[in-house]
């Protein structure tokens, strides 16, 4: 970091010279790849980062760390980056906290001034790395944002008079707040980079532009022995475990209303009726051990946007809703007519999952046959 | 081998499952809300206790929060934790994750030598998963986040952690900080003896203090300027109500299951996504 941007002693009445808080820093996106395979969240971050950069008339930078990253840097330009920095090193092949931390910290320190904003994905990698960087630079970090924006903020609180002032370009990091139907805007304009992670599947990537020009710059990797204290013995990708939740066209999800973990047998049966389908779950049932964490949809799980989402025995708390409300068609089944899920589902059935789901499976499988008959009749 | 010094960080959070303290508009009255041990910390506690059982050592539970948080340290004691520290200080109010990590860093140093620090993956009232890694940064430790399996072999830590669409098997040395995923083993029930012992202890406050110490910023030599609102680089600038989406849910109610299901299937086009009949 070039220089501590900590404000000097200033009388509380005088608004601060805000130019010192909003230097010309750019917007940086930290791209993510697993063994050279680009993670979709990187493109989403570029989409979000481009909007922020354009609003402030700054550049969009992208950092790619890894080994043998192929055409990823070029792709980053096509998806919106102006300059892509590449740290390629054998020791960066697998993601590991300390080597990646070293490269990212060194890179940020090497810039003439710190980026205004630095964005990472709320993935197992981004959530592992971002807090280390924020702590290293004593800067603010907001996790799991669902929206990002740039705007002014006037800080009036006298708790810390050194912070009082009008800040023209602040990162608005917006996320749902705990247990409440509230969205919170979290700000930290006093120190750059202002950091945030965004949930995979939430931000929208730009359409790629093959003609877009940009610069690709290789940066040095200087690791220390202590950075390699942790060794990755093996990376195992789940390949045969069915359709990935985030990529499924149809998600059938179960919640606490199922009453027991065995209810998921029924959920799986219903999901099996659909092509390219997956099983989702609310956090409560994951916490109860009814189904593994990988199936969790919502604030602390995955964000999905399938064509069809069937919520079975899910009450629809905000934490769940943020993970699935953008589904094209939401069908909810719940015993409680006042359940929150009926406020944002498209179709609701008030009833017992154990009556409704078997009936649905029955009719869907029957109807497939019927439809085929109709189709045959129709074409003749 | 004299055993490992195992630390586990725990937090008391409002019980979201309970209706107590939940205002009609959905906001939370923290003073009235039921309190509980952060559900994610139960896995961290299990990992700590299992490590003690399997490899020997002592478990120290550390928490930060207002005085009632001593309840969760008692609970940890019932499960078999050896001692606890509660950092409680009004100057910690409104700490964000960075300020929290700083205060915990000073607490950990105060609590003494450690080999492993277990944390829950995240808390249910903040959902950030940031404090663990930020503490590791302060302590300059390697970290294993999203850990779902943990063991020690020849003095080295072997662990399995979740990554996007897969898992990573890692080996590292101690000291290390580990955040435990909720796919780890659930917390075992407390033993009758453990619970009884702590209940007896609770009646003898003086003796209890040998096991659970309440400490403040001055005692641990923490800089109050780096705690609370002052030490927090982020603030919640404002909040807004989440608008109801549409409110245009087509409800099916009061009819027989087959009628309601028939209507839904007819009106939603779900058949389009069915597995093609072969």
A156-172 pLDDT, tens digit each: 888 888 888 899 899 99
Q: Which residue has the higher pLDDT, B238 or A49?
A: A49
Q: What is the rounded distance in angstroms from the CA atom of residue A75 to the CA atom of residue A350?
A: 47
Q: Cβ distance B239 to A177 under 8 Å?
A: yes
Measured between CA atoms, the residue of chain B closest to residue A238 is B166
Closest CB from B28, B246, B277 relative to A180: B28
Q: What is the pLDDT confidence band of residue B176, given thresholds at 50, 70 and 90?
A: very high
pLDDT of B19 strictly over 70: no
DSSP letter string, B127-148: ----HHHHHHHHHT--EEEEEE
What is residue A312's predicted lDDT score, i.e. its pLDDT?
A: 97
Instruction: Taking residues A134-163, report their average pLDDT.
Output: 92
| Calpha distance A109→A222 (Å, rounded) | 13
Residue A321 in contact with residue A243, Cβ under 8 Å? Answer: no
- Which residues are CB-contacts of A200 (< 8 A; sequence separation ≥ 6)? A39, A40, A41, A44, A121, A122, A123, A246, A302, A303, B164
B189 touches chain A (CB under 8 A): no
Q: Compute the average pLDDT of residues B55-83.
A: 97
Rounded CA-CA distance A365/A111 in Å is 61
Asked if residue A211 has pLDDT above 60, the reply is yes
Whether residue B24 lies within 8 A of chain A, CB to CB, comes out as no
A218-221's contacts with Cβ under 8 Å and 24+ in sequence apart are A218/A85, A218/A86, A218/A87, A218/A88, A219/A85, A219/A86, A219/A87, A219/A103, A219/A107, A219/A110, A220/A87, A220/A106, A221/A87, A221/A88, A221/A89, A221/A91, A221/A92, A221/A103
CB hemisphere CA count around B240 (13 angstroms): 8
CA gap A346, A311 in Å, rounded: 11
Mean per-residue pLDDT over chain A, rounded: 88
3-class secondary-structure state, position A61:
strand
Q: Which of A184, A230, A249 to mutate to test the interface with B (most CBs of B within 10 A)?
A: A230
- Confidence (pTM): 0.82
Q: Residue A286 has what pLDDT? A: 86
Cβ distance of B163 and A124 shorter than 8 Å = yes
DSSP designation for B50 = H
Mean pLDDT of B72-93: 97
pLDDT for residue A7? 43
Q: What confidence score (pLDDT) does residue B25 get?
A: 54
Q: State the count of interchain CB pairs (< 8 A) between A and B.
A: 291
CA distance A180 to B16: 10
Q: Please say if the pLDDT value at position A379 is more than 50.
A: no
Nearest by Cα to B12 from B156, B144, B120: B120
The confidence score (pLDDT) of residue B139 equals 98
Q: Which two tokens stand for residue A116?
A: 């205004």
Residue A358 has pLDDT above 50, yes or no: yes
User: Are residues A185 and B239, on separate chains, in Cβ contact within 8 Å?
Assistant: yes
Residues in chain A: 380
CA A213 to chain B, closest CA, distance in angstroms equals 31
**Cα–Cα distance, A346 to A309 (Å, whole number):** 10
Reply yes or no on whether the pLDDT at A5 is more than 50: no
pLDDT at A195: 98
Quote the Cα angle for A146-A183-A247, to 5°.
30
Chain A CA closest to residue B156: A230
Beta bridge partners of A92: none
**A40 min Cα distance to partner chain B (Å):** 11
B98 and A134 in contact (C-beta within 8 Å)?
yes
pLDDT tens-place string over residues B124-139: 888 899 999 999 999 9
Identify the CA nearest to B117 among candidates B98, B102, B136, B97.
Answer: B136
Nearest CA-CA partner of A86 in A100, A104, A68, A73: A73
**Confidence (pLDDT) at B24:** 57
Q: What is the pLDDT of residues A55-85, one digit of tens each?
A: 999 999 999 999 999 999 999 999 999 999 9
CB A66 within 8 A of CB A148: no
Nearest to A337 by CA among A324, A349, A353, A319: A349
pLDDT of A268 > 60? The answer is yes
Confidence of residue A245 (pLDDT cuts 50, 70, 90): confident
> pLDDT for A26-49, tens place per residue?
999 999 999 999 999 999 999 999
Nearest to A43 by CA among A77, A71, A70, A66: A77
- Is there a contact between A294 and B183 if contact means CB atoms under 8 Å apart? yes
Task: Look at A181 and B241 and tell me if their CB atoms are within 8 Å.
Answer: yes
Q: What is the mean pLDDT of chain B?
A: 90
- Say yes or no to pLDDT of A54 above 70: yes
pLDDT at B242: 66
Q: Give the tens place of pLDDT for each residue, B256-267.
A: 999 999 999 888
Q: Residue A120 phi/psi, 5° resolution?
A: -130, 165
């Amino acid at each position: 970091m070039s220089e501590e941007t900590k404000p000097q002693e200033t009388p509380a009445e005088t608004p601060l010279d805000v130019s010192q808080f909003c230097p010309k820093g750019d917007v940086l996106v930290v791209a993510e790849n697993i063994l050279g395979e680009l993670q979709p969240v990187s493109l989403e971050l570029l989409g979000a980062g481009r909007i922020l950069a354009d609003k402030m008339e700054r550049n969009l930078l992208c950092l790619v760390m890894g080994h043998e990253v192929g055409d990823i840097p070029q792709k980053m330009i096509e998806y919106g980056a102006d300059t892509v920095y590449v740290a390629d090193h054998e020791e960066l092949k697998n993601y590991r906290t300390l080597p990646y931390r070293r490269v990212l910290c060194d890179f940020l320190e090497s810039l003439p001034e710190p980026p205004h904003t630095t964005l990472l994905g709320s993935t197992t990698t981004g959530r592992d790395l971002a807090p280390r960087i924020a702590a290293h630079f004593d800067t603010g970090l907001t996790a799991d944002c669902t929206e990002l924006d740039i705007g002014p903020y006037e800080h009036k609180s006298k708790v810390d008079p050194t912070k009082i002032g009008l800040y023209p370009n602040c990162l608005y990091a917006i996320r749902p707040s705990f247990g409440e139907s509230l969205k919170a805007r979290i700000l930290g304009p006093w120190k750059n980079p202002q950091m945030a992670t965004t949930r995979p599947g939430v931000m929208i990537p730009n359409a790629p532009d093959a003609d877009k020009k940009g610069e690709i710059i290789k940066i040095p990797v200087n690791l220390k022995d202590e950075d390699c204290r942790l060794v990755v013995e093996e990376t195992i990708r789940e390949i045969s475990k069915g359709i990935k939740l985030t990529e499924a066209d149809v998600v059938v999800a179960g919640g606490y209303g199922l009453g027991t973990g065995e209810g998921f047998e029924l959920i799986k049966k219903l999901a099996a009726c659909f092509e390219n389908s997956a099983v989702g779950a609310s956090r409560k049932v994951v916490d109860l051990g009814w189904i593994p964490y990988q199936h969790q949809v919502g604030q602390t799980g995955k964000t999905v946007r399938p064509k069809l989402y069937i919520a079975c025995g899910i009450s629809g708390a905000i934490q769940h809703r943020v993970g699935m409300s953008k589904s094209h068609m939401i069908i909810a089944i719940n015993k409680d007519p006042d359940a929150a899920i009926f406020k944002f589902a498209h179709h609701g059935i008030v009833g017992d999952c154990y009556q409704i789901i078997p009936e649905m499976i029955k009719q869907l499988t029957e109807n497939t046959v019927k439809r085929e008959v109709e189709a045959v009749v129709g074409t003749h | 081998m004299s055993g490992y010094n195992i630390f586990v960080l725990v937090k008391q959070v409002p019980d979201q499952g309970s209706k107590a303290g939940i205002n009609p508009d959905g906001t939370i009255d923290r003073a009235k809300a039921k309190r509980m041990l952060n559900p994610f910390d139960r896995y961290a506690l299990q990992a700590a206790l299992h490590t003690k059982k399997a490899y020997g050592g002592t478990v120290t539970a550390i928490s930060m929060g207002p005085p009632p948080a001593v309840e969760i340290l008692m609970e940890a004691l019932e499960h078999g934790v050896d001692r606890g520290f509660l950092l409680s200080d009004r100057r910690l109010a409104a700490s964000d994750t960075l300020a929290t990590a700083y205060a915990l860093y000073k607490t950990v140093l105060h609590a003494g030598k450690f080999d492993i620090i277990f944390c829950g993956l995240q808390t249910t009232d903040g959902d950030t998963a940031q404090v663990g890694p930020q503490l590791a940064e302060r302590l300059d430790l390697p970290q294993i986040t999203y850990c779902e399996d943990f063991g020690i072999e020849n003095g080295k830590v072997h662990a399995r952690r979740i990554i996007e669409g897969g898992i990573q098997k890692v080996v590292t040395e101690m000291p290390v900080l580990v955040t435990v995923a909720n796919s780890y083993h659930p917390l075992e029930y407390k033993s009758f003896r453990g619970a009884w012992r702590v209940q007896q202890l609770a009646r003898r406050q003086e003796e209890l203090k040998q096991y659970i110490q309440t400490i403040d910023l001055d005692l641990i030599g923490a800089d109050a300027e780096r705690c609370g609102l002052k030490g927090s680089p982020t603030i919640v600038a404002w909040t807004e109500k989440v608008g109801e989406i549409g409110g245009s849910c087509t409800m099916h109610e009061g009819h027989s299951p087959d009628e309601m299901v028939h209507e839904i299937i007819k009106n939603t086009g779900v058949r389009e996504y069915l597995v093609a009949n072969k």
